[in-house]
């Protein structure tokens, strides 16, 4: 899949002033690995905004969910998705899901509502058989990726590690590997060095100026900084506290 800005997109205002969006305009677009693409970089570079825009351009609900979800709690999404053009590969995905950690509570509420709607087919079995509100945040995430995610899907995840323990992140890694072998595609904005270990993933690092550089696992910023901190936490803390 390739994502690029529509020719008339640049308005000179947010979100087109974000570093990653300026880079999209300069480079003419971004190619996303047909299996797994990770977006990494510091806060404010626009990673989450891009994932959200990809979801909107692909027809997902801005607050999260599948193509069938059309609820709105508070319109906070940027207009970027309306100006993105997606060019698909050999075939388009047959299913998919947009997961954003910050609004999954709203998605869970909509799942409960639809499950109780007599005009809607039962939904809870697709999410582990239990309402996400009756599970911990991390458990509901793992129920989602285990029961709802399936083959030949497009899965856009915004910082899924926010709700997961290290073991939970490892479970997500295993599920990603399983699903990509079945033809699924993932695009994930993350700060987790554990998730970045997915074998064969493309890691795109976004700099402060928006420049997008493909890096290997060892040179990805979350991995390198975490290793340095764990090797010498006292030195890091002394520098920060002084």
Q: Convert the pLDDT of each residue in 49-97 to its tens digit.
A: 999 999 999 999 888 888 877 666 665 567 888 899 999 877 789 899 9
Residues 6 or more apart whose CB falls under 8 angstroms from that of 155 comprise: 96, 97, 99, 149, 179, 184, 185, 186, 187
User: Sheet of 212-215: strands edge to edge?
Assistant: 95-100, 153-158, 185-189, 36-41, 202-206, 212-215
Answer yes or no: is 236 within a domain.
no
pTM for the model stands at 0.89
The answer to which of 62-66, 215-219, 236-240 has the lowest mean pLDDT is 62-66
CA distance 228 to 237: 12
The answer to which of 42-46, 49-53, 111-115, 208-212 has the lowest mean pLDDT is 111-115
Answer yes or no: is 164 within a domain.
yes
CA distance 9 to 113: 37
Q: Please give the pLDDT value at position 182.
A: 96
Answer yes or no: is 105 within a domain.
yes
pLDDT for 100 beyond 70: yes
Answer yes or no: is 183 within a domain.
yes
Backbone torsion region of residue 12, taken as left when φ is above 0, otherwise alpha when ψ lies between -120 and 50, otherwise beta: left
Answer yes or no: is 60 within a domain.
yes
pLDDT for 42 beyond 80: yes
- Give the residue numbers spanning the domain of 13: 2-216
Task: Kindly report the CATH number assigned to the domain that includes residue 97.
Answer: 3.40.50
Answer yes or no: is 241 within a domain.
no
Phi, psi of 19 (to 5 degrees): -55, -45
Answer yes or no: is 152 within a domain.
yes
Q: Please give the pLDDT value at position 19.
A: 85
Answer yes or no: is 77 within a domain.
yes
Structurally, the chain folds into a number of domains equal to 1
Task: Go through 101-119 and write b for each residue having 16 or more CB atoms within 10 A of its CB, e for each that does not.
Answer: bebbbbbbebbbebbeeee
């Amino acid at each position: 899949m390739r994502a690029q800005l529509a020719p008339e997109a640049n308005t000179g205002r947010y979100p087109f002033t974000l570093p990653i969006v300026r880079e999209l305009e300069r480079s003419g677009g971004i190619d996303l690995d047909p299996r797994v693409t990770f977006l990494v970089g510091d806060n404010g570079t626009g990673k989450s905004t891009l994932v959200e825009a990809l979801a909107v351009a692909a027809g997902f609900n801005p607050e999260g969910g599948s193509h069938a979800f059309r609820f709105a709690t508070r319109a906070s999404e940027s207009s970027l998705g309306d100006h993105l053009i997606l060019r698909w590969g050999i075939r388009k995905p047959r299913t998919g899901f947009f997961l954003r950690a910050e609004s999954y509570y709203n998605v869970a509420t909509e799942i409960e509502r639809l499950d109780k709607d007599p005009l809607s087919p039962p939904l809870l079995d697709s999410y582990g058989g239990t309402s996400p509100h009756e599970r911990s945040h991390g458990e509901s995430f793992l129920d989602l990726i285990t029961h709802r995610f399936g083959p030949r899907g497009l899965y856009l995840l915004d910082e899924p590690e926010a709700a997961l323990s290290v073991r939970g992140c490892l479970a997500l890694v295993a599920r990603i590997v399983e699903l990509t072998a079945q033809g699924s595609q993932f695009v994930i904005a993350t700060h987790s060095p554990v998730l970045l270990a997915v074998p064969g993933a493309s890691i795109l690092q976004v700099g402060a100026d928006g420049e997008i550089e493909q890096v290997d696992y060892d040179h990805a910023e979350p991995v390198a900084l975490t290793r340095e901190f764990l090797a010498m936490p006292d030195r890091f803390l002394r520098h920060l506290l002084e």
